[in-house]
Chains A and B, each alone.
Chain A
Amino acid sequence: DADVTQTPRNRITKTGKRIMLECSQTKGHDRMYWYRQDPGLGLQLIYYSFDVKDINKGEISDGYSVSRQAQAKFSLSLESAIPNQTALYFCATSDATGMGETQYFGPGTRLLVL
């Protein structure tokens, strides 16, 4: 969905390095999420934010941190990257109004930790 952008799209880094993945959205949604995708495991939630001042851990937050700089921006940091953090990372947004809010995903960032 072009309304949700992620940078970079691909990144190779070394063990121990700090990296940041960025997500921006123009959908005007309050809620934003970070997921990682591993083959055969589906998507796992890392962190989520319901507004700028509300940030929460997901299922697999260890080794990650986030920053919600504005309603439209939500960044994911790996403080000290390790090889098992090699994965495809997705940002998503949703609108809390109405029933059955739908999450809309960015194109993903493919991360390789050597």
Chain B
Amino acid sequence: AQSVAQPEDQVNVAEGNPLTVKCTYSVSGNPYLFWYVQYPNRGLQFLLKYITGDNLVKGSYGFEAEFNKSQTSFHLKKPSALVSDSALYFCAVRDPSDYKLSFGAGTTVTVRA
């Protein structure tokens, strides 16, 4: 069975500071990993994904994520957060042999001016 954990319900940072949203996963094989963002009253928007290759993945809006196989983690990062990054962030994992995408519970990010 595959699963995702987002250990922090909320992350608060000041604008201009680095932002990190944590994600750990459990899957039997090599994982496909995804990050989505949900702005208020909007659907989930795809940010980035890891399939294979370089452990550092770059995505939309200046976000990046680092795949760490030994720690089974896929943390989302942004070097300098903006107030407009305030949103709900979801990590998701899929076993390549399966159709199912499993989501974490989400982390609410608040960036204060």
Give A contacts to B, CB under 8 Å: 1, 4, 40-43, 45, 48, 50, 58, 90, 92, 99-100, 102-108
A42 and B90 within 8 A (CB): yes
Judge if B103 is at the interface, Cβ distance under 8 Å.
Answer: yes
Interface string of B27-42 (1 = CB under 8 A from A): 0000010101000011
A99-B51, A100-B32, A102-B49 known; A108-B106 Cβ under 8 A: no
Q: Which residues of B contact A58 (CB under 8 A)?
A: 100
Q: How many residues of B contact A (CB 8 A)?
A: 24
Top 8 closest A-B pairs, CB basis?
A100-B51, A42-B103, A105-B43, A105-B44, A107-B43, A100-B32, A43-B103, A42-B105
Q: How far is the CA of A26 from the CA of B46 in the complex (A)?
A: 17
Q: How far is the CA of A42 from the CA of B105 in the complex (A)?
A: 4
Q: Which residues of A contact B43 (CB under 8 A)?
A: 1, 4, 90, 105-108
Q: How far is the CA of A103 from the CA of B102 in the complex (A)?
A: 12
> Interface of chain B, helix or strand or loop or mixed?
loop
A42 and B104 within 8 A (CB): yes
Q: How far is the CA of A4 from the CA of B42 in the complex (A)?
A: 12
Judge if B80 is at the interface, Cβ distance under 8 Å.
Answer: no
Instruction: Output the nearest chain A residue to B103 by Cβ-Cβ distance.
Output: A42
CB distance from B72 to the nearest CB of A (A): 18
Instruction: Output the nearest chain B residue to A33 by Cβ-Cβ distance.
Output: B101
CB distance from A40 to the nearest CB of B (A): 5
Q: How far is the CA of A100 from the CA of B94 in the complex (A)?
A: 8
Interface string of B67-103 (1 = CB under 8 A from A): 0000000000000000000000010001010011101
B105 and A1 within 8 A (CB): no
A40 and B45 within 8 A (CB): no
Instruction: Output the nearest chain B residue to A56 by Cβ-Cβ distance.
Output: B99
Judge if B52 is at the interface, Cβ distance under 8 Å.
Answer: yes
Q: How far is the CA of A107 from the CA of B49 in the complex (A)?
A: 21
